[in-house]
Structure 1
Amino acid sequence: MPAIPPPTLNASRQVAIREAWLDQWREAALDPALPIVDPHHHLWDRDDERYLLEELLQDAASGHDIRATIFVQCASMYRAEGPEALRPLGETEFVNGIAAASASGRYGRMRACAGIIGYVDLTLGDHVAPLLQAHRAAAGPRFRGIRNRTAWHASPEVRSNLVSPPPGPLADPRFIEGAREVARQGLVLDVWAYHTQLPLVASLARAVPELTVVVNHCGGPLGIGPYAGRRAEALAEWRAVVMPLATLPNVVMKLGGLAMEVGGHDFHLKDRPPASATLAEAWRPVVEPLIEAFGAPRCMFESNFPVDKGMCSYGVLWNAFKRLAQGASDAERAALFAGTATRIYGLDPAFAQMA
C-alpha cells in the first residue's frame, strides 16, 4: 500500500485531496434509489489538482443515484486573451462542452453540468446585461445564474477563495444594480459569504425581492482565525444572522460546504477518514436548524466537490446527508436531494422523479 502523504492545504487554502487516505473508509450507499441532483460542484485543472469529468464520474459512481449536477464558477479555464470582462466566458464555454459530452449518454445516465453558474462582475454597471447575454449565448438553457467572489473576512487566516477579494462587493450599490439585471434575465444569484457577511446578504435580498438568492455552504459558519476553539460562540453568532434570511421568501439555502478548512473541522487530521455517522453528528447543529427554518422546499444538499473531498469521500458525504434527513417525510427528502435544486435552477423535472 502506498504511503499516505500528510494533510496539507493547497494554494487556495483548501485541504488537499489524498485518495489513499480516503480509500481507508468506504460505505455502501444508503437509500440508493433516492434521486439526487448535486447542485454545487467545480471542475478545474490546476498545477496542484485536477478535477474534470473523469474525476467527477469516478466520485459519482458511489452507489447513489446521482441524476444531474450543477457546475458553480471557480475561475477555471478563463480565456487567456481579450477584454478582461469577457475572459470568464472561457469557463462557461469549457463547462458547456463537458455538459454536451455528458448529455451524449456516452458516460452514463448522470448528466454532468446540466446547469451552469458562471461569473460576471456585477459591479460593471451597464456592461452587466450584454455580458450575461454572452454567457447565455455560449451555454444556452444550461446557463442558470451567476456567482461573484464575495466571501471576505478581515482576518488573514480566514480565506477560501483562489483570489482573496476586497471587502466588497456585497455592499457596493453597483452590485445591487447588477443583481437586478440578473433577475431581469431570469437567472439565479449564488452567494458565498461567511456568516459575518450575512446581514449584507439579507440587505441584498430585500433590495431585489424579484431575485432568487441561493446562499452557499450553510451561510458560512466560521471556525478558524478569531473563531478557532470557540465553536459554541461561533454557532450562536451564526444562528443570530442566518435565521433572519429564512424570513425572506426569495432566499434559498444550500446545505453543505461543511468540510472546508474555514469551518474549523479537522477530519483531515485524523488517521482515517470520517464515517458518515461522524459527519452527520458534527454537522447536525448547522443543518437541522436550517431545514427547520427554511423548510425543505427552500433547502438543497450540495457536495461542494472537490473542495470538501479533502475531508471525506463523495459516497460518505451523501450518506451523511441521508442520515441528517432521516426524520423528514418522503416529500421533504425528495425536495432536499433533488426537487429544490431542479425547481430553483430550472432543470428537467425528470431528474427528481423516482425511477
Structure 2
Amino acid sequence: MQNLGFALIDPHIHQWDPYNTPHVASLAVKLLGKHPFLLDKIVRLVKSKDLIETVGLTTHITRPYLPQDYKQDIGQYAVEQVVHVEASWADSKGKGVVAETQFIESLPFGTNTVQLGGIVATADPTDSNFKKILALHQKASSRLRGIRRMAAHHEDKGIHAWANDPHLYTNKKFLKGFEQIVRHHLSFDAWVYSTQLEDVIALAKRFPETSIVLDHLGTPAGLFGKVGQTTGLTQTARENIFYHWQDAIAELATYPNVYTKMSGLFMPVLGHQFHKKKQQASKQQIIDLVAPLITHALDSFGRYRVMFASNFPMDRVSTSLVNIIDALSDIVHDYDDETLQRVFHHNAKQFYRL
C-alpha cells in the first residue's frame, strides 16, 4: 500500500550515536570508523558469536542512527510522530540510564526530520534506587511514557541473552520494583522470546492496572530457519515454534491491559538469511513470511490492541522500512478495511498517550 491516506505513528524506533554517547561499540567506532571493513572485523572479534548472529551484520549498529537517518528510511510515507525505545545504552548501571533520555531530548527532532512524541526509557526494577531513577527520567523529559526492561533469554545458548535472569519478569525483586511503574503511571514494554511468553502472562495477571505492550510479537526465534545451536533446525521444529507461539499469544491476549507491536519480524534471530545472501526481502516475501503471524495477532488481540512499529534500524539488516510498511499495511488492510488506521496510528497514540 503506497498511500495510507493518513500520517502514521511509529511507536518503536531506536536512536544512537557511537561517536558521542556510551555505546557498546564506541571505542572501536572511534578508532576505525573511517575503515568499515576493519571495523567489522574488530567488532566480530571482540563481541560474542551469539550476539553477532542475533543482529546479523555489524554495519547498522556501528553507524549513528539519528532523526535524519529515520527520515530518509521512511521514504514517501508521512509520519506524525515517533516513540524512541531504549537502545542498550552502555552506561546501564543505576542512574547512568537517565543520560539516554537526556540524549534523546537533545536530538534534532522537528519539522525537518520527524516529531518525537514519546520516550520509553530503561531502568532496572531490581535496583534499590529504581524509584529515584524513574523520577530522574521524568525530570529529564516530559515525554517519558514508559519503561522497558528487556528479558529475552533463550534456553539455546547460541541465541543471545539480553538479560541474565531467564525469568526476569517473575523475579521477586523485579516484581517489587515494578510497583513503582504502577505508581508513576507509566506503561511497560516487555520483550521476551516466545519461549518466555508465560512470564509476560504472569506479569499481566499480577498488574492488571498497568498497560503492557509485548514488543515484536514475542520474537519466535528460529521460526524461519536455524538459529543458535539447534533452534529451528527442522521443519517440524519450526512448526512447533509456531504452534507454541500461537497458543501463548492467544492466552496473553485475554488480558485486556496487554497490547502487542507487530515489529521486529525481520531480525535475523527469527531465522532469516537475507543478510547472508546480501539480499533485501521484497514486499511479497515479507507478506508470505509474516502474514500468518499478523493475522493471528489481530484475531487474538483484535483491532484495538495491535500496533505497527518499525524497530528501525534493527530490521534494516533484512529489508527496507518502505518494504515493511508496504507489506504490513497490505496485510492489515486485507484483514479488515477499518483496522488499518487503528493499527498504524490510533492504537499507538492511545497506548502512549501522545
Sort the TM-score into its range (normalised by shorter chain). 0.7 to 0.9
CA distance in 2, matches of 1:342, 1:290: 19
Q: How does 1:21-32 map to 2 (within 5 A)?
A: 30-32=2-4
Matched with 1:3 is none
Residues 303-350 of structure 1, C-alpha deviations (whole Å, 9 max, x = no match): 011100000011111111112112244431111001000000000xxx
1:10 corresponds to = none
1:153 equivalenced with 2:150 (yes/no): no
SS at match of 1:134: helix
Residue of structure 2 in register with 1:116 after alignment: 119
Instruction: For residue 333 of structure 2, give the secondary structure of its aligned residue in structure 1.
Output: coil
Q: State, as a whole percentage, how many aligned pairs show the same letter.
A: 28
1:250 counterpart letter in structure 2? N
Q: Which runs of 5+ in 1 are unaligned?
A: 1-28, 348-355
Tell me whether 1:49 sits opposite 2:63 in the alignment.
yes
- Asked if 1:64 corresponds to 2:77, the answer is yes
- How far has the Cα of 1:168 moved from its partner? 3.9
- Gap change, CA 1:271 and 1:133, over 3 Å in 2: closer
Taking structure 1 as reference, are residues 34 and 281 closer, same or farther at Cα in structure 2, changes over 3 Å only? farther
Return the offset for 1:217: 0.3
The answer as to 2:317 corresponding to 1:310 is yes
Q: In structure 1, what is the Cα distance between the partners aligned to 2:161 and 2:313?
A: 13
| Letter in structure 1 aligned against 2:240 | E
- The one of the two structures with greater contact order (alpha-carbon pairs below 8 A, sep at least 6) is 1
Give, in whole Å, the separation in 2 of the partners of 1:310 and 1:272: 9
TM-score, normalised to structure 2, is 0.81
What is the aligned counterpart of 1:129 among 120, 128, 131?
Answer: 131
Matches within 5 A, 1:92-103: 92-98=101-107, 101-103=108-110
Q: 1:149 to 1:271 in 2, by over 3 A?
A: closer
Q: Any unmatched runs of 5+ in structure 2?
A: 19-28, 30-61
- Look up the match of 1:190: 189
Give RMSD over aligned pairs.
1.8
* Alignment-mate amino acid for residue 143 of structure 1: L
How many residues are treated as equivalent by the alignment?
Answer: 304
CA distance in structure 2 between the aligned counterparts of 1:306 and 1:160, rounded to whole angstroms: 20
Q: How far 1:179 sits from its partner (Å)?
A: 1.9
Distance 2:278 2:133 in 1: 47
Q: Secondary structure at the match of 1:236?
A: helix
Contact 2:279 2:318 in 1 (8 A): no
1:254-293 to 2 correspondence within 5 Å?
254-270=261-277, 272-293=279-300
Deviation at 1:45, TM superposition (A): 2.3
Task: Please say if 1:87 is aligned against 2:96.
Answer: yes
